Structure 1
Amino acid sequence: MAVYRIGSQEIEYTLRRSPRASKASLSVTPKSFELLVPEGATDEQICAVLDRRRAWIIETVQHMAERAKAQTRVYQFVTGAKIPYRGRIAKLTIEPFDGSLVEVSFRNGFHIRMPSGLPPESSDAVIESSLRLWLKHRVRDDARDFVRRHGERNGLKPRGVQIKDQKHMWGSCGQNRQINLNWHLIFAPKPVLEYAVVHEMCHLKHRNHEPEFWELVGRVLPDWENRKTWLDKNEHMLGWEKVEPSV
């Protein structure tokens, strides 16, 4: 992470260099902002861009801090806990049983069967890990379905789809034609996840965000702007913050 200093305040941001970039551009990522610059940009040129956009940066960072405060907080993964899922909040139900592995399912809420012999001091971490893994599998399966639905008929054939724990972006499309998606997209409604998948697929033809790119997105998903707007406005819902009990 790079750091931009405004007085005594240090603001972290992602600096990305690209041989395809003709000019610098700033964009918001899930928890920060990103500065894209041409590959040969100097430190002085980068600082000049940041200084010109200082007011925007301050406003954006404050806005993201306010959204972070609104994020779902989970103190313990126990019956009654509330977990975000596909654009809404679902309740968690824990049921001990005689099995040896944690089982996760969803039926009008999350249902987790937990081995009755699991020590209480480790149950919270085990349940969170199992739930996280289950959610990653769901977003992977959904994303692959969307690739099958939109890929071949639009001439968009990625090499594959990988689900990652990305901190500063919702997705990316590698030069190897591999699509990467942030697993936190499982917390958004399915149409929003579909938009994210299509967005990255369209980068197979257009590596930038020029008008031709958005025209292609619109041909695949005519209502893409509504889906993008939801993502921009509700990014604070896409995940949970585990709050450790104070000692």
Structure 2
Amino acid sequence: MPTIQIGRAAIAYELRRSATAAERRITVTPGHVEVMALTTDNDGDIAGFLDRKRQWLFNTMRDMERIAASRHAVPRFMTGSKIPYRGRNMPLTVRRTDAERIAITYRNGFIVDLPHWTGVDPDHLVASELKHWLKQRARRDVNEIAADYGKRFGLTPRSIRVADFANGWGSCGPEGSVLINWHLIFAPRKVLEYVVAHELTHLRHRSHGRAFWDYLATIVPSWKASKGWIDSHQSELSSDFLHVTT
């Protein structure tokens, strides 16, 4: 899926072409950006259009994020809370310790050991450390999956990294650089495998034509089930629960 870079955010979008549209347009819905181009447009036409719409797109995405954030209560990070991880809500246990540094372990749930110097309201610290732990785990999983596909199918990207996406789940640049949304750590492992395979398939087939989907099916036969899961649960794959207000 192509992306447009706005500041530090890589905004993924679905590109569609229309033979009947009178003008180009961008449609933004929660978790999805669609760019409608003309059938006569070349890459330069589309890039110029997106560049002209850059500020509008940034403002629209920001406004939608504010609206979404106002609809959800922010949970607190205490023993008994649930943390989404690989498609399940796992229990959180927060403990005090005399150690100098915070530590997170995972054994059928998250265990956070807080050092003595933390205050009586450690929510911000726990949220920050959980986010860091989850992003690190996402990087590890993505690299493992990509290495496996590289070994079995010869799909080796120029680079692969995990990033924050304003929306979308992955992208493969024209030079073979792959980006994966770290929020996929909240989805089942097979869904993450599907997204990685999807982007690696673009190394062979750039567009979403028949050849693309046929090849993807040879390396991930169950891709339709994983795509269906992500289409149904995409609103849940968010790190909003890690943002704590006072």
TM-score range, shorter chain: 0.7 to 0.9
Distance 2:27 2:154 in 1: 28
Aligned to 1:183: 182
Distance 2:227 2:36 in 1: 20
Structure 1 residue 17, shift from structure 2 partner: 10
Distance 1:17 1:235 in 2: 15
For structure 2, list consecutive stretches of 5 or more residues without a partner in the other structure: 5-10, 19-23, 50-63
Aligned to 1:238: 237
Aligned to 1:132: 131
C-alpha spacing 1:216/1:146, structure 2 compared with 1 (3 Å): same
Aligned to 1:152: 151
Structure 1 vs Structure 2: percent identity of aligned residues? Answer: 36
Structure 1 residue 93, shift from structure 2 partner: 0.6
Distance 1:162 1:26 in 2: 27
Distance 1:219 1:72 in 2: 40
TM-score by length of 2: 0.73
Q: Please state if 1:112 is matched with 2:117.
A: no
Aligned to 1:169: 168
Aligned to 1:79: 79
Per-residue CA distance 1:148-174 (angstroms, 9 max, x = gap):
221233221112321111111101112
Structure 1 residue 233, shift from structure 2 partner: 0.3
> What amino acid maps onto 2:127 in structure 1?
E
For structure 1, list consecutive stretches of 5 or more residues without a partner in the other structure: 3-13, 44-63
Aligned to 1:33: 33
Per-residue CA distance 1:171-193 (angstroms, 9 max, x = gap):
11122322111110000000000
> What amino acid maps onto 1:244 in structure 2?
T
User: Secondary structure of the equivalent of 2:89?
Assistant: strand
User: Secondary structure of the equivalent of 2:146?
Assistant: helix
Aligned to 1:58: none
Structure 1 residue 32, shift from structure 2 partner: 3.4
Is residue 72–residue 83 contact of structure 1 (8 Å, CA) maintained in 2? no
User: What is the Cα-based RMSD across aligned positions, in Å?
Assistant: 3.3
Distance 1:139 1:218 in 2: 24
Per-residue CA distance 1:178-227 (angstroms, 9 max, x = gap):
21111100000000000010001001111211111111110100110001
Distance 1:166 1:172 in 2: 10
Distance 2:101 2:170 in 1: 32
Aligned to 1:195: 194
User: Paired residues, what number?
Assistant: 209
Aligned to 1:10: none
Structure 1 residue 109, shift from structure 2 partner: 1.0
Structure 1 residue 81, shift from structure 2 partner: 1.4
Structure 1 residue 73, shift from structure 2 partner: 5.1
Aligned to 1:222: 221
Distance 1:111 1:79 in 2: 9
Aligned to 1:96: 96
Structure 1 residue 25, shift from structure 2 partner: 9.4
Distance 2:12 2:159 in 1: 26
User: Secondary structure of the equivalent of 2:167?
Assistant: coil
Structure 1 residue 36, shift from structure 2 partner: 5.0
User: Secondary structure of the equivalent of 2:117?
Assistant: coil
> What amino acid maps onto 1:207 in structure 2?
R
Distance 2:30 2:151 in 1: 30
Is residue 83–residue 90 contact of structure 1 (8 Å, CA) maintained in 2? yes
Is residue 198–residue 216 contact of structure 2 (8 Å, CA) maintained in 1? yes
C-alpha spacing 1:116/1:29, structure 2 compared with 1 (3 Å): farther
